[in-house]
Structure 1
């Protein structure tokens, strides 16, 4: 496995790590989705499953990668790619209809933004090739662990960058 295979895998795995973190960190996602008032009533009944489903999908991608189980990885990566695509559409509609309200992505306070819409779309694009079997799962356990470690690091950077952007927006609003 070359660096040209490892880096795309790291970006796809970053999306999986973010889903697991979101499922563990977030508060009441069901209430947040209801407050957005975007989904039809019959879909609101499924809202309590959203957090556990995204955490499970992300964990399945990581498990498939770490265990070298290509079939599990491809199935889970397809679910994650579709999840991020749906999230990008949801966030775009939320931003257009409600403005910068809290989106519930990683916490209960961060507002939806064009950056979050773009990040969700990019993570969907990054994960889609993994669902098709590229890059191939490396045979070496060390390489798989390294890719997951890099993915966790990149996920941490994205979370910190998101929080710094929130702080900057807060101070900008106070300075006006």
Structure 2
């Protein structure tokens, strides 16, 4: 595996890391947040408590598949993660259009929906999708796979901080107007 394979893997793994972080760090009632949006039918809102564990499991499965070199697990989990991010992007776009900058439930219950979050979800879906079709190849040694995981954790942290800064900037601009 070359650096040309490690960097795309890093970005694909970033989406998985963010899902694990979201599942572990979410403290509030995601069901209440989704219910307040009023976008989903009542029967699907009842499934909201499963979101955190499901996204955490999918993210962990991608990471486990990558680290272990298990291509089948990686492909299946990466497809689930890419589809999750596409669904999230669609949901956030509709939420933003219909309700504006209301709390979206992403990582916490206070940060608002924003075009930045929609774009981030689309980019993470696109970054994860190559894993679902088997690229980059899994012939790397363990050290290269672990380096890609480390870079993914760093990138995920950077995205979280950048998202918080964008949220603060958006809130201050809204208050100025």
TM-score (norm 1): 0.96
Partner of 2:73: 72
Partner of 1:54: 55
- Provide the rounded CA distance (Å) in 1 between the counterparts of 2:175 and 2:90: 31
- Superposition deviation, residue 102 in structure 1: 0.5
Partner of 2:8: 8
Deviations 1:55-93 (A, max 9, x none): 100000001111111111011001000100100000000
- Superposition deviation, residue 46 in structure 1: 1.1
Question: Where does structure 1 differ by over 6 angstroms across 4 or more consecutive aligned residues?
Answer: none
Alignment of 1:22-171 (within 5 A): 22-26=22-26, 27-171=28-172
1:95–1:113: 8 Å Cα contact kept in structure 2? yes
- Provide the rounded CA distance (Å) in 1 between the counterparts of 2:76 and 2:89: 20
- Provide the rounded CA distance (Å) in 1 between the counterparts of 2:6 and 2:58: 21
1:65–1:73: 8 Å Cα contact kept in structure 2? yes
Q: Aligned residues, how many?
A: 176
- Provide the rounded CA distance (Å) in 2 between the counterparts of 1:164 and 1:139: 36
C-alpha root-mean-square deviation of aligned residues, in Å? 1.1
1:20–1:56: 8 Å Cα contact kept in structure 2? yes
- Superposition deviation, residue 174 in structure 1: 4.0
Deviations 1:134-160 (A, max 9, x none): 011243110010000000000000001
1:103–1:112: 8 Å Cα contact kept in structure 2? yes
Give the unaligned 5+ runs of structure 2. Answer: none
- Superposition deviation, residue 126 in structure 1: 0.8
- Provide the rounded CA distance (Å) in 2 between the counterparts of 1:153 and 1:78: 23
Partner of 1:17: 17
